[in-house]
Amino acid sequence: MATEPPGQVIARFAAARVARLATLHGGAPRLVPVTFAWLDGAAVWAVDDAKPKRGRRLRRLADIEADPRVSLLVDHYDDDWRRLWWVELQGTAAELDGPAAMAALDALAARYRPYAESRPPGPVVAVTPTTWRWWSASGLWN
C-alpha cells in the first residue's frame, strides 16, 4: 500500500467522475477513460453493457493480465489556470470476484445512475495504489 497523500488529494481524486486508465500494451502506453468508485483504499471499475463495446474481454483486461501495473489520472481544467490540478494513482490492477466484486458494483451503482438502473456484468477490477503523484496550480498541495 502506498503512503497516502493528504486527505484533500484523495477527496479530489475520489470525487472525479471519470479517470484515464493507462495500461501497457506491447510495451507502449494505452489510455482509455473509465468510470470508477473509491472503495476501501482502491479505485474500482467494471466492464459494462451501457456503452458500445466489442465484448467483455476488453484489451485493457488483456493488458492487465500481461502486466498489472497501471495508472489512473484525474484532472481539472479551468480557463483560470490558477484552478488547474491533477492527481495520478499508480498501482496494481486485479480482477475481483465474489463479495469484493459485489461491493465494488454496489459502490459503482451508488455513484452512477446508469449503473443503478443496470448493474455492470463485469469483470470488475480494483486498482490498489502503490504510488501517488499530484499537482495544483495554486500550490495548495505542492
Q: Is the pLDDT of residue 51 over 60?
A: no
Q: Is the pLDDT of residue 55 over 80?
A: no
Cα 79 to the center of its chain, rounded Å: 25
User: pLDDT tens across 84-101, in order?
Assistant: 999 999 999 999 999 999
In the chain, the domains with their CATH numbers are 7-136 (2.30.110.10)
Q: Which of 1-10, 25-34, 66-75 has the lowest mean pLDDT?
A: 1-10
Cα–Cα distance, 92 to 135 (Å, whole number): 22
Contacts (Cβ under 8 Å, ≥6 apart) of 58: 47
Contacts (Cβ under 8 Å, ≥6 apart) of 32: 20, 21, 23, 60
User: pLDDT tens across 118-138, in order?
Assistant: 999 889 999 999 999 999 998
Mean pLDDT of the chain: 90
**pTM of the predicted structure, to 2 decimals:** 0.90
pLDDT value of residue 141: 65
Q: How confident is the model at residue 50 (pLDDT cuts 50, 70, 90)?
A: low
**With 0-12 CB in 10 A as exposed, 13-18 as middle and 19+ as buried, what is 64?**
buried
Q: How confident is the model at residue 115 (pLDDT cuts 50, 70, 90)?
A: very high
What percentage of the chain has pLDDT greater than the value 70? 90
